[in-house]
Chains A and B, each alone.
Chain A
Amino acid sequence: MTTMKTVFNKTGGLTDKPTHYCPGCTHGVIHRLVGEVLEEMDILEETIGVASVGCSVLSYEYFNCDMTQAAHGRAPAVATGVKRVLPDRFVFTYQGDGDLASIGISEVIHAAARGEKITVIFVNNAIYGMTGGQMAPTTLIGQKTATTPFGRDVSIQGSPMKVCEMLSTLDGSAYIERVSAHDVQHIQKAKKAIRKAFETQKKGLGFSMIEILSTCPTNWGLDPFESLEWIKENMIPVYPLGVFKNKEGVN
């Protein structure tokens, strides 16, 4: 007689709804990591998530907790409103690079500067996904997009924006780390970072953000495997992984 053993389960941090993400997009992996952390910390019932505009706009249908959908870029302001009313709950935003680094850069900078006790999950795939592959502030130099058809040119479009580096200069930032979702080892590191960010919030130490390098096979014009390689070969050299801010007390 053989005994069956469960080796892998769906996380209770996500709903049963199938996601709409393109094949090979790492949003699904990142959703799962956030869901697992919320479940393992047993804080799903104490959490309010704020969805952004862009590919992750429907994330409110996937996370198994209360969710509010914010206007383009405004998630950190909405999260501020929620957290200031309910300081004992966990509040996170889930934002892409167009949402956070372009239209919403002011909101995230000031939320960090105020030391808002929220966690920002910042998914950086160096392109606008939902709107069809236009340039983002994080688009790499030379990268071809719908609005940089000849490649991003520093003299015209400027340089990629390094959000972790920028926000880590602010006193209100408590924990800031950049991770990547391109292989198993890095995905495990990403999960640890997300957990640390929520623990930072739990300790009331200030603003926490995890930037996760992510794929966009559809708009990059690459297959899923090439996309993972592209993160490793092209994105990480521009967006180095690591901890950028680790305030005393984080651990």
Chain B
Amino acid sequence: MGKVLMKGNEVIAEAAVQAGCKYFFGYPITPQSELVAYMARRLPEVGGLFLQAESEIAAINMVYGAASTGVRVMTSSSSPGFSLKQEGISYLVGSELPAVIVNIVRGGPGLGNIQPAQSDYFQVTKGGGHGDYNIPVLAPASLQEIVELTQDAFNIADKYRTPVIVMGDGMLGQMMEPVEFGIRKVPELPEKGWATTGTRGDGPPKTITSLELNAESLEQRNHSLQRKFAIIKENEVRYETYKMDDADFIMVAFGTVARITMNAINKARKDGIKVGLIRPISLWPFPERPFIESRDKVKGYISVEMSAGQMVEDVKLAVNGHAPVDFYGRTGGVVPTQEEIYEKIIMVAGGILI
């Protein structure tokens, strides 16, 4: 199969189908509705099922039910709808059920607008719902990368029995790029002996629950979850670096903004300013290593985001006071331009580092 020109939301949907996802429960919301519509058309072709739920809350709970039977299942939404899914996501984590949840982020808070944003960063990386938990979050920067990461998301979900979030900004969902599918082989689904599918004479009944009334028992369960999160942190960190070797300043950006920032870096490099990039691909676990390796060698970091400053907190934690950390962000659905980011680099390189 050669390259095809597709919209980001549809690329996620097709990648999911090719990853063996046969069940999708969703609710339309801009700017991710093409994903829902694509699944409605596509899933019957592979013997799967698409169901439009009455709300995001119902959709995530249908995902919970389907996931409890052991199949690959997905839902998608955009910021206000993603907020509604948080209850179900917390339950998925508590019950250790694998699922993939897509958040194509738009401007907020509240109803906000339908323009691209990254302001759900805290919500996706710091738990989001109630209780102590983290979820793996993958943030592609191109449509080709979506193909790979969507499939990885399902594999990570099954491997660790956890929901996984694929997060993109509205621009990534709406843009069109040529992509190629079928490059990677989809692995066999792992054994899911825990699934509740009716005992069928196959041993005693199974239960899926996140309830643990005894405090000490729940603490043990939380410790067990935390051990799992530590293993995920060990194994599932993803990032890309660009022109880091001789860099005086390092930009930090993910998703669409990373691409714009890369162009700004190229422009600044032409002016002789040695600037590089760390692009987190997994937002959780956050890639600390490239910061630890560079923080005593550089003059500073600049986090560039489509938010009022959220990832910058993780950057500061990773830098841990070894170097100054600055921030440039646009919020409310405004996409920063290459020129704006370039100007910021010039200001910082000129010594106006906060």
Chain B stretch 199-215: residues in CB contact (< 8 A) with chain A: 199-201, 205-211
Mask of A49-79 contacts with B, CB within 8 angstroms, 1/0: 0110000011011011111111100100111
A106 adjacent to B61 (CB under 8 Å)? no
**Segment of A82-90, A152-160, A184-192, A217-225 in the binding face:** A82-90
Q: Does B57 contact A (CB under 8 A)?
A: yes
B64 adjacent to A66 (CB under 8 Å)? no
Q: Does B144 contact A (CB under 8 A)?
A: no
Q: Does A183 contact B (CB under 8 A)?
A: no
Contacts of A46 in B (CB 8 A): 198, 200
B216 smallest CB distance to A (angstroms): 18
Contacts of B25 in A (CB 8 A): 81
**Segment of B66-74, B243-251, B309-317, B342-350 in the binding face:** B66-74
A68 adjacent to B198 (CB under 8 Å)? no
Q: Does A165 contact B (CB under 8 A)?
A: no
Instruction: Please report whether the interface of chain B is mostly helix, strand, loop or mixed according to DSSP.
Output: mixed
- Tell me which of B49, B54, B196 has the highest count of chain A C-beta atoms within 10 A of its own C-beta: B196
Q: Does A47 contact B (CB under 8 A)?
A: yes
Residue in contact with B208 in the complex, picked from A67, A74, A80, CB distance below 8 Å: A67
How many residue-residue contacts, CB under 8 A, span A and B?
134
Chain B stretch 34-93: residues in CB contact (< 8 A) with chain A: 49, 51, 53-55, 57-59, 61-69, 71, 73, 87-88, 91
Q: Does A110 contact B (CB under 8 A)?
A: yes
Contacts of B154 in A (CB 8 A): none
Q: Does B226 contact A (CB under 8 A)?
A: no
Residue in contact with A89 in the complex, picked from B55, B59, B197, B205, CB distance below 8 Å: B197
Q: Does A48 contact B (CB under 8 A)?
A: yes
Contacts of A85 in B (CB 8 A): 23, 49, 65-66, 69, 71, 73
Chain A stretch 21-64: residues in CB contact (< 8 A) with chain B: 44-48, 50-51, 57-58, 60-61, 63-64
A71 adjacent to B87 (CB under 8 Å)? yes
Q: Does B266 contact A (CB under 8 A)?
A: no
A50 to B87, CA, bound (A): 17
Contacts of A61 in B (CB 8 A): 207
A89 to B95, CA, bound (A): 22
B64 adjacent to A70 (CB under 8 Å)? yes
**Known contacts A45-B198, A74-B61, A81-B66: A66-B88 contact under CB 8 Å:** no
Q: Does A229 contact B (CB under 8 A)?
A: no
Q: Does A199 contact B (CB under 8 A)?
A: no
Cβ-closest 4 pairs across A and B: A81-B65, A77-B61, A69-B209, A66-B196
Binding site for B on A (CB under 8 A): 15, 44-48, 50-51, 57-58, 60-61, 63-71, 74, 77-86, 89-90, 106-107, 109-110
Binding site for A on B (CB under 8 A): 23, 25, 49, 51, 53-55, 57-59, 61-69, 71, 73, 87-88, 91, 95, 196-201, 205-211
